[in-house]
A and B are shown apart, each in its own frame.
Chain A
Amino acid sequence: MSSNLSLLEVQRALRRAIVDGDTEPLQGVLANDAMAIADAVGIYRNTIRWTLTRALRLSYPAVHKLVGAEFFEGVAEQFSLRHWPQSACLDDFGADFGQFLDTFGPARGLTYLPDVARLEWAVHQALHAPRARELSLERLLQLKNDQRPAVRFSAHPSLRLVTVDTPADTIWRAILEQDESALVGIEVTRAPRYLLVQRDPNGGAEVLALAQGEWKFLQALSFGVALEPALQEFHDTSPGADLDHVLARHLAAGRFTDFSLGMDCGDFAVLRTLN
């Protein structure tokens, strides 16, 4: 191939050599001999592979502990080849790891593993979310009674609501706390769990399992549904729940950063989508 490649063509050729292992387009471009090219491309590939594996290990510490270092390196390499990072901020890399584990043959026996990964991604996002001021409860209390039904909250950027089909949160906690007895006692049965994840004031992760109705109520509020339709839905699906108490608890826990006022008949459509 001609050595008078444009800068963009050179960069595409080196990318192809590193990612796809095809060094042929580089042969006429580089001053090094073929063996030196293969060695050098190998050095770059290994550095990149190592960097991406380390990034995944930092985001998925429980998965790493559950499967062990060797297995993790193998799965991380397979994942990286198919989900190449698009951003130089490696905190963004690995969003689809849980989905990838769903279809990764060698992990098929570990039914809880993709769920643990999905939970870890939520934790990772919560830990790295931007900071935000907490909602002013004082401002909220100043509202007139007839304004309150129309309150729409803005969710805290670190709030994540995830569902899993296995006791992934119990496994996650036990493995990271190295609680062997808790780990042995876990029965891996398939049943939906409704989880809330948020960064706590100390910079750690708060992970709570909620009742389905409460989780859906928070989900509706975080989607910007107004308070009245969200409370109505919560009441209809969870007849015994103490709505005021649940709302007060989450307000105090800093789930929201701001609010606006306004009723919208589109809220019911949003609620139907969420259901």
Chain B
Amino acid sequence: MSIPSKRFGVPTGAGIGLRFAHHEDVVARRPQVPWFEVHTENYFGGGTNLSFLEAIRAHYPIALHGVGISLGSAQGLDATHFERVCALVERIEPCFISEHLSWSCVDGHYLADLLPLPMTEEALATVCENVDRMQERLRRQVLIENPSSYLRYRHSTIPEWEFLAAVARRTDCGILCDVNNVFVSASNHGWDATAYLAALPAHAIEEIHLAGHSCRRLEGGRVIRLDDHAGPVAGEVWNLYEQALARFGPIPTLVEWDNNIPALDVLLAEAARAARRLQALETNVEQSVAA
């Protein structure tokens, strides 16, 4: 399934996650950045935030990245929330619509985080059913992002990378490969990050995320990596990103920074680092074609 966009084509290059703190700066300066991504749930109201987004949308492709639809909920999607997502999609006509391979809602309670799913056949069927419902209603492809996690379930029978590949195969959804999340989860659970990337279906990868994480030493000396989006992309993650590009090709890439948000220029510089790697790859491809 291709990604139709009435307004803009699929973005290229490296964009940044747009947060409220940079709204005014972006409108005033109109920086050289190929696209922006926003958190869907931040623009449900009709106030100033939506006005900023509409002003920015006039000049840049916008991707909608949801954090609350809870694709892994055993009890199905929240109808009210889903309709609000649909209304925003209609208004913004985003270049990508993405969500997470996780769950947040049970028994009418919203747990405001992206919680891990057991990797079972039951969970796979649930996620596929919810992704199907979303794509059928939106009549658009949705991208599913691999989560970062700190827990694993004893009764999981499917490795996460195979689970993602199966969701993509069964539903025709795309995959948003968060390279930082691959690194964080691999480090926390003892997986091989390179093997994780190698197991993903390259043709399904539509977008890549990069972000910062931190390390915390726990009691007993164990070190855990926290996906806190509070700093620059780590050196090891840049290395893994290069591996991802080598395997998947020049995939549109997005730099996220959600806590201790720096000045816009810092984020733009981080995106430029990703752009240089994308350009190097494209140059290599051109040279090899020419040869």
Contact = CB atoms under 8 A, between A and B. Distances in A.
B202 interface: no
Given A43-B224, A51-B113, A31 B46 contact: no
Interface stretch (A82-90, A106-114, A222-230, A248-256): A82-90
Given A14-B115, A37-B151, A129 B46 contact: yes
Given A6-B122, A10-B153, A89 B218 contact: no
Contacts of B150: 39-40, 43-44
B191 interface: no
Contacts of A52: 112
B151 A11 contact: no
Given A11-B103, A11-B106, A31-B154, A88 B75 contact: no
Contact of A89 (B41, B73, B111): B41
B106 A8 contact: yes
B94 interface: no
B64 to A, nearest CB: 14
B181 to A, nearest CB: 14
Interface residues of A, number: 49
B122 A7 contact: yes
B69 interface: yes
Contacts of A86: 108-110
Do most interface residues of chain B lie in helix, strand or loop, or is the interface mixed? loop
With most chain A CB atoms within 10 A of its CB, the pick from B112, B126, B156 is B112
A68 to B, nearest CB: 21
With most chain B CB atoms within 10 A of its CB, the pick from A87, A128, A130 is A87
Contacts of B51: 203
Contact of B153 (A29, A43, A128, A132): A29
A25 B152 CA distance: 15
A51 B112 CA distance: 7
A202 B105 CA distance: 35
A91 interface: yes
Nearest to B44: A89
A65 B129 CA distance: 46
Interface of B: 41, 44-48, 50-51, 67-70, 72-75, 78, 80-81, 84, 103-113, 115, 117-118, 120, 122-123, 126, 150-156, 218-220, 222, 224, 226
Given A15-B107, A40-B151, A89-B68, 19 more contacts: A4-B155, A7-B74, A11-B106, A30-B152, A32-B151, A39-B150, A39-B218, A40-B224, A44-B111, A51-B112, A52-B112, A88-B67, A89-B81, A91-B41, A91-B44, A127-B45, A130-B45, A158-B46, A199-B47
Interface of A: 3-8, 10-12, 14-15, 18-19, 28-32, 35-37, 39-41, 43-44, 47-48, 51-52, 55, 84-91, 127-132, 157-158, 199, 203
9 contacts: A5-B155, A6-B74, A8-B106, A11-B73, A40-B150, A52-B112, A89-B44, A91-B45, A131-B50
**Nearest 4 interchain pairs by C-beta:** A88-B68, A128-B45, A203-B48, A40-B150
